[in-house]
Structures are given as C-alpha cells and as structure tokens.
Amino acid sequence: MLQTDRVILSQLYSQRVNGLREDKLKINEFKRKEIGHQDFDDWGFVHYPDFKFEARPNHPSGLVYGYVAIGEHLRRFFNEIPKYINKNSALAGAWIGPLQNFVRMGIIPEDQPSDLKEVWAKYNTFPGFGGMNHCAGDIEIGLKLGWGGLLDKIRHFREFNSPADTSFYDGEELVVLGMQEWTGALALEAERMAQEESDPDTRKNLLEIAEINQWLVNNPPRTLREACQFIAHFQTLDRTYFAGGAMDQLDEVLRPYYEKDMEAGILTDEQAVWYVASLFFNDTHYSQIAGLTPDGSRDMTSRMSFIILDAMHYLRIPANIALRVHDDVNPQLLRRSLEYMLEDGTGVSYSCNIGCEQGYAKNGYPLQLARMRAKVGCNWTAIPGREYPLQDVTRCNLGFAFHYAMEDIRCGEPSLEALFERFCHHTKIIVDSIKSGYDRHYEVIGRNTPELVYNLFMHGPVERGLNCSEGGVDILNFNIDGVGMATVADSFAAIEQRVVKEGRITWQELFDVLDKNYEGAENIRLMLKNISRLGCPGSEAQKWADRIRNHYVWCCKHEGTPKYNLPIIPGMFSHGNIGELGAKLPATPNGRKAGEAISHSNEPDPGFAAGIDSFSPSLKANAVAALQPGYGNSSPLHLDIDTDMLGKAGGIDALISLIHTHNQMGGTLINLNCLTGKKLLEAHEDPSRHPDLVVRVTGYSAFFASLSKEYRQQVVDRFLSSRK
C-alpha cells in the first residue's frame, strides 16, 4: 500500500528548509541588484562579483573550442571558483554562473554557416545551429559509477578503442578530474567550516557533508543523501557548461536509495524531504515524476514522488518538476500537486502522455521508447541517456513568413489564396534554412563545442569515443519550433472577414494602414483586431490556424535535412521570446502594431474571447490541443487561474478534469499558475513587495521579481485576460 500522506517537518528540519528559502531570497535580491533582471529559470547560481578567471583561447579569433581546450578550462574553473556551502543545506556546492561568462567558447568562424545567415536575419529566425544541451543524461550511469568509475571508464575505452585522435577522451577525462577536485575541495571546506562552527547541529551537518564529499571523490553514492549530493554536483557542472538543465525521471532515480535507506533504518521521511529540498536549492534542473513504465503496465508513482512534491512545497522557490499525466496516474499524487498549487501559487507542470508519447511514436519509434521520453526541459522531452533530440533552440518566425507573403501579393491582384500560397512559400524557406543549418551543426558541433557533460551520462559516447550529436547515441532527431500562430491565423481571418467578406476596407487600404503602422487609423486597427479570433468556437481564425499548422508540419516532416537526411520533429514553442521575435516585425492585419510582441507558440492571444462566448480556460486549452504539431514535441498550454475562483470547493476537481481532458485531447504540456490578482498586480507595480512570488513563465518557473518588466507584463496580461 503506497504511503501518500504529507510529511510533517519537525522544528529542526522546518528551520533548515525555511532557512534555505530565506537565503535564496537574499541571494536572489543580491543578483537582481548586481546583474539586473533575468528572463530565464531562476537558476541556483550564487553570484560572486569579484571572481575573475583567465581564458586561454586556442583560436586566433579569441575563441576557446574543442574537447581538450574546453575540458582544461572546465577543470581549472572548478578548481578556482568559490567553494559555496550553505549551512542549512544537506548538500555542498553551487555554481557561480556559466563558464561562457568568463570564457568565449563557440564555433570557430571557418565552421560557421555564413551562407545561411542572411536568410535567418531576413526572417528573424533562431536557427538552432550551434545549440547546446537540450538532451538529457541518464543520471543512473553516474550514480552507479561515481566520478572514479567514470574516470576508469574513459581510460578503459581510450585504451580499448585506441583512436588516432584521443582528444574526445582527453577532454572528458579533464572534466571528470575537475569534478573530483571540486568534490574533494568541498569536503575540505566543509571540514574547515565545521571546525569554526559553534552550533552542534550545524557542526554535525557540516562534518557529514565533508564525509559524503570525501567519499564521492572516487566512489559511487550509497545513500539517498549521497545520491542527492552527486546529482547536485552534476547540476553544478551541467549548468556551468552552456547552462544545461536536464535531469531525469527523478522519483525513479532516487527510489532505490530511499527504499534501501528506509529498510536499513537510517532515513526518515523528513530527512528525505530536506535532502531533496537541498537539491532544489542547488539548482532548478528539469525532472519528471510519475508516468508509465516503458511497457505501459504500471504508473511509476512511488513514495518518492510524494516526497518530491513535499520538498517543493516546503521550499517554495522555483523548481522545475513535471508530473506526467495519464489516465491511470495516481489520483492522490495529482490531487496533492494541485492542493500545493493552490496553496503556493505555483508547483509542478503537467506533461501529457497521449500527445507526447503517441505523437513521438508517429515518428517511427516504438511506443515503449516514447514512454521513456521524460519531460526534462522547460517545454521539451527526451529519452534520458539515449537520445540527442536537439529541442528548444529554434524559432521559426511565422510572423515574418506572413509579412513577406503580404509584400509579394501587393503588386498583383491580391487574394487570400495567393496570400496563403506565398505564406507557405516563405515558411518553407525558413524551415529549409534551419534544416540546412542542422546539417552544418551535425558536421561541426563536436569539434567545436562538444557535449562534454552529457557524453559522460549517455549510453554510447564514451564506449564509442563519439560526441552524442554524431553517433554517440543511437537516437538522433532535430526539433524545429514554430512561433506566432495566432498572429498569423488572426491576420488571415481579419482579412477574410473585413476585406473579403464584408468589404469594409479594400486590400489597398489595408496595405496603406499597415505601411503607416495604423497611424491615424485606430478605428481600422480595432476593426481588424475585433474579429472572431483564434480560440473562439467555430472561428475562421481556427480554420486558418489548422491550415497553417498542417503546412508547417509538412515543411518539417516531408523530408529530412538536405545533406544527411536527419529527421526533423516539429514543435511550437516560443519560450518567452515573443517580444524579441516581434521587435522587427512590421504591423500585421490582426491589429498588432510594428514592433509589438507576436503570439506565443500556438496559443490564442490574451483577450481572444469575444461575443457571447466568454473566456474560459477550456476554450484556450481546446485551441492549443487542436493545434498540436502532433509528433510528440511540445506545444504548451499556459493557464493563469484566479485562486479566488478555484480556491473553493470543487476547484481542484475542475483542474483535475482540465488536466485529464487536455491530455485526452492530445495536448502535450500544461503550465499552471494559481494566483490572486491583487498579489500579482502589486508585485508588478513594485516587485520588492512580493520577492517570494513564484510564477511559471512558460515552461519554467521563476521569481516574479527577477523578471524584466516585459516578461512580467506577459504574465499579467495572460492573467487579466483569463478573468474577463
């Protein structure tokens, strides 16, 4: 019988977890003042403004590149950075910012795809070339071997394979040596701090940290706490190198340690909560809990899944845990996650098994493999340790495809079908250019910026001596994300309604007002904006969105990359980049002015509901589910729920229904915030009033106060439109 009750913390552990949160808020405030706003996950780095590090470029351009040079820099970096240990934590270490803040690493000029850059600039496209991380390691490889075992493995296969060029192994060796030295240094630092510590509980904790880290220099972890410490070191390394953030199926990874420790009588649930909270304090890596086993016979929910939720709840700082939803997911786990959501305002995200798994299987992979694809990125999934699925590094800007289509038709006899034909033409140009960039990426990424960290935690790279992007792992695919669906679909629908059907303005008048950025034509702008927009039941915009999605998916899927026929999987995800993606885009016929943000992913715009159908979360969810690209890569749904509305009886049941329904309709990911309008608006006005307010921005959660005003506005707009 699965134990599902909430863990109640005693005074000691409550103080420690609360202390971590308070320290986090102080660290955060310091970062905000020193660095300014950051529109990403609230990474767990500790800022040391005076830290200096010498870069030793190995290319005339001033770049550091290649296995050995980067490996040497990583090793030296970990030897030189401050040895941070928080006395309230069960674990040692923190990263201090990405290595590229101190060292220019990247792809050398002669390997750059200069022939493609013009196209990417023209369409304001994020090409994905040179993208790093966005794959996931199988952390169990590290947990079984430890740093010592990983070093032995590297040395064994270097000798066994005897490659002509040993730089792959030499670089990986340098990374592992650096981590061993880092771990050993933390042990010494903990011991030093213990000697100076007067509080007996804290001294004991520091001595335990010292002992654990001393063991982990060469040996694999034996206990839950040691496993968490090893994972924390992995997080620190992973974030340092190009800000990697993918973890694993965390409940299943930790479950054997938890069960073994409990059986041995050396662990209590509250200690487990503290260890996991300390891990979340260390960093906000992305992990999944629950979901089906590969054979689909069992839900993976365990006691560890509940403990992970408790740790998030007690810590109440950003954490990036996803709960994989399926029809038979443990109902108590789902309910608990929502209870915490309503209490804390934020919590887990919900990864949907039908859209993710059945969609992925449509690429030709077995469904059993698809079930192993865990949500380990802000919007994306990967099979830990077995797949290189480069995701979330591209943005195919549909807004620009539409803009150039409008330019194409203005000289002839404009028509909607001509416009759509040209839109398809330009969309294909963008997608094809990204594909060509991926061919180049595939050729050069390993010799420039290899996946030095993930290679260690994957099945194949060390065994074969190959970077995971080029044969190190067996499963290789590349993602392209479309963005700005509503901007384009609403533009088509506005033209159809106002120009073609109603004849309220002519095509020429439309071109004129767009050229003038609607100056002196506010009423025309509002006329074009106030149509039945994407998200309204039965809207023309919905029909256009279907056509756009179908064409976009076809562009991605009908053939692989031109040179190597690498498989492409389409997604639709904008992260928070909608401001940047719209900044150079001229005015569009959906009433959007030049430079304004474009629409998120495939979501209806805020305020889409009009007429007799008023806004509801289900209308938005239905539109997002209906417009999924359909091959397993995510197109997330963002919902900001007013706690005043759902905090009453029946609210959680309604959310459970919403989550299951979105899953059954083929959605892939749900990001929820449960907020009160009062608190959100106060924090927007003056972020310092609510420094502890945590929100889910897109796929990731962050302190609201740390976000730039533009990103805060995105969250506020979404929330306000949901209350109309």
Partner 1 sequence: MNSKGNIFNIQHFSIYDGPGVRTTVFFKGCNLRCKWCHNPESISPKNQIEFYSDRCIGCGACFKACPNGVHVLDDKQMHMINRAKCIGCLACADVCFANAITAVGKYVDADYVFASIMEDYLYYSNSKGGVTFSGGECMLQIEFLYEILKRCREKGIHTAVDTAGNVPWSSFERILPLTDLFLYDIKAADPALHKLLTGAENVRILNNLERLSASGKQILVRIPFVPECNDGQIPGIAGILKSLNISRVEVMPYHKLGDNKYTALGMDNELKAVEVPTEAMMDRAVEILVSEGLNAVKT
Residue numbers at the binding site for partner 1 (CB under 8 A): 522-523, 526-527, 529-530, 537-538, 611-614, 616-619, 622, 646, 648, 650-651, 653-654, 656-658, 660-661, 664-665
Nearest to 674 by CA among 701, 634, 636, 710: 701
Phi-psi region of 695 (alpha: psi -120 to 50; beta: other; left: phi over 0): beta
Q: Output 412 or 520, the one with its CB closest to partner 1.
A: 520
Least distance in angstroms from the C-beta of 716 to partner 1:
19
Q: Which helix (H) or strand (E) holds 482?
A: strand 478-483
Q: Output 369 or 527, the one with its CB closest to partner 1.
A: 527
Residues 391/380, Cβ–Cβ less than 8 Å = yes
Q: Output 112 or 530, the one with its CB closest to partner 1.
A: 530
CA atoms of 523 and 212, how far apart (whole Å): 68
Least distance in angstroms from the C-beta of 650 to partner 1:
5
Residues 152/456, Cβ–Cβ less than 8 Å = no
DSSP conformation class of 301? -
Least distance in angstroms from the C-beta of 577 to partner 1:
29
**What is the 3-state secondary structure of 451-463?**
CCCHHHHCCCHHH
Residues 292/354, Cβ–Cβ less than 8 Å = no
Q: Output 664 or 713, the one with its CB closest to partner 1.
A: 664
Nearest to 399 by CA among 598, 670, 558, 165: 598
Least distance in angstroms from the C-beta of 647 to partner 1:
11
Least distance in angstroms from the C-beta of 305 to partner 1:
22
Nearest to 182 by CA among 102, 83, 249, 288: 83
Least distance in angstroms from the C-beta of 527 to partner 1:
4
Q: Output 502 or 559, the one with its CB closest to partner 1.
A: 502
Strand bridging mode 701-703 / 694-696: antiparallel
Query: Tell me, what amino acid is at 95?
Result: W
Least distance in angstroms from the C-beta of 524 to partner 1:
8
Q: Which helix (H) or strand (E) holds 324?
A: strand 320-325
Q: Output 452 or 528, the one with its CB closest to partner 1.
A: 528
Least distance in angstroms from the C-beta of 616 to partner 1:
4
Q: Output 594 or 654, the one with its CB closest to partner 1.
A: 654
Sign of CA dihedral 96, 283, 171, 242: negative
Q: Output 453 or 531, the one with its CB closest to partner 1.
A: 531
Half-sphere exposure for 96 (CA within 13 Å, toward CB): 20
Q: Output 411 or 612, the one with its CB closest to partner 1.
A: 612
Least distance in angstroms from the C-beta of 672 to partner 1:
14
Least distance in angstroms from the C-beta of 654 to partner 1:
5
Least distance in angstroms from the C-beta of 637 to partner 1:
13
Least distance in angstroms from the C-beta of 49 to partner 1:
47
Question: DSSP letters along 654-711, please?
Answer: HHHHHHHHHHHTT--EEEEEEE-HHHHHHHHH-GGG-TT-EEE-SSSEEEGGGS-HHH
Q: Output 642 or 692, the one with its CB closest to partner 1.
A: 642
Least distance in angstroms from the C-beta of 614 to partner 1:
6
Question: DSSP letters along 427-473, please?
Answer: HHHHHHHHHHHHHHHHHHHHHHS--TTGGGGSSSHHHHT--GGGTTS
**Structural tokens at position 175:** 């990374």
Q: Output 178 or 617, the one with its CB closest to partner 1.
A: 617
CA atoms of 447 and 527, how far apart (whole Å): 54
Least distance in angstroms from the C-beta of 496 to partner 1:
16
Q: Output 199 or 522, the one with its CB closest to partner 1.
A: 522
Q: Output 223 or 491, the one with its CB closest to partner 1.
A: 491
CA atoms of 527 and 590, how far apart (whole Å): 9
For 225-229, the CB contacts below 8 A with 24+ separation are: 225/90, 225/91, 225/271, 225/275, 226/257, 227/143, 227/253, 227/254, 227/257, 228/90, 228/91, 228/254, 228/275, 228/276, 228/278, 228/279, 229/90, 229/91, 229/92
Q: Output 602 or 722, the one with its CB closest to partner 1.
A: 722
CA atoms of 480 and 394, how far apart (whole Å): 6
Residues 130/449, Cβ–Cβ less than 8 Å = yes
CA atoms of 376 and 253, how far apart (whole Å): 13
